[in-house]
Chain A
Amino acid sequence: DVKVTQSSRYLVKRTGEKVFLECVQDMDHENMFWYRQDPGLGLRLIYFSYDVKMKEKGDIPEGYSVSREKKERFSLILESASTNQTSMYLCASKRGGDADSAFFGQGTRLTVV
């Protein structure tokens, strides 16, 4: 089975802190994604990566950056956390191509105070 692991289930950070959310997948998937989930808004794509060192902006990239130095790891970085970044963050990975599905990690609930 595919395993996508996010480093933390819950995080509490202060406004202005630099925050790293880590995601690791063990199935050699080319594509990895970061979403945030907010009530009534569904899942919104922040950034995705289709290969090592490659990244593309999603629908809401402002205030975030990403890093993919190794195929199995995709990091989401909040350069200076703000309270409006309090949310559930979900990482996903999938093989390249249309005929494969995305698999999600368990999520990180981030609270910025």
Chain B
Amino acid sequence: GQQLNQSPQSMFIQEGEDVSMNCTSSSIFNTWLWYKQDPGEGPVLLIALYKAGELTSNGRLTAQFGITRKDSFLNISASIPSDVGIYFCAGQTSGSRLTFGEGTQLTVNP
């Protein structure tokens, strides 16, 4: 199946720092989604991107849908301890099937 390369695999940062993570693919996607998963819970949708070039913000989160439709990034500004978790990107082609990246484990030190 299609594959997404998500990086970095893990990040250890200090509270207040900004964070950036990205996903790339050899395939074109129609939709890019970013999810966060807390320990022992299911992923929760953070941001959805539906157009190439789209830049969307949700509070301290900003995500962009790459112009080529093969990549996306997520930025978190001024990180706080509750930002800890696993962040997943997901790409969707027509037909509703989603492909997920391997996840970025974020640790925020107070």
Chain A residues near B (Cβ < 8 Å) = 4, 6, 9, 30-31, 33, 35, 40-45, 48, 50, 58-59, 90, 92, 94, 96-99, 101-107, 109
Task: Give 19 pairs: A residue, B residue, CB < 8 Å, sorted on A.
Answer: A42-B102, A43-B43, A43-B88, A45-B1, A45-B97, A50-B95, A50-B96, A58-B1, A98-B92, A98-B94, A99-B50, A101-B33, A101-B45, A102-B33, A104-B42, A104-B43, A105-B42, A107-B41, A107-B42
Q: By CB atoms of chain B within 10 A, which of A101, A104, A105 has the most? A: A101
Interchain CB contact under 8 A, B102 and A99: no
Closest 3 CB pairs of A and B: A104-B42, A42-B102, A43-B100
Chain A residues, CB < 8 A from B24: none
Chain B residues near A (Cβ < 8 Å) = 1, 6, 9, 30-31, 33, 35, 40-45, 48, 50, 88, 90, 92, 94-103
Q: A98-B30, A101-B48, A105-B42 are in contact. List 5 more A-B contacts (CB 8 A).
A: A31-B96, A50-B95, A92-B98, A98-B94, A107-B40
Chain B residues, CB < 8 A from A58: 1, 97
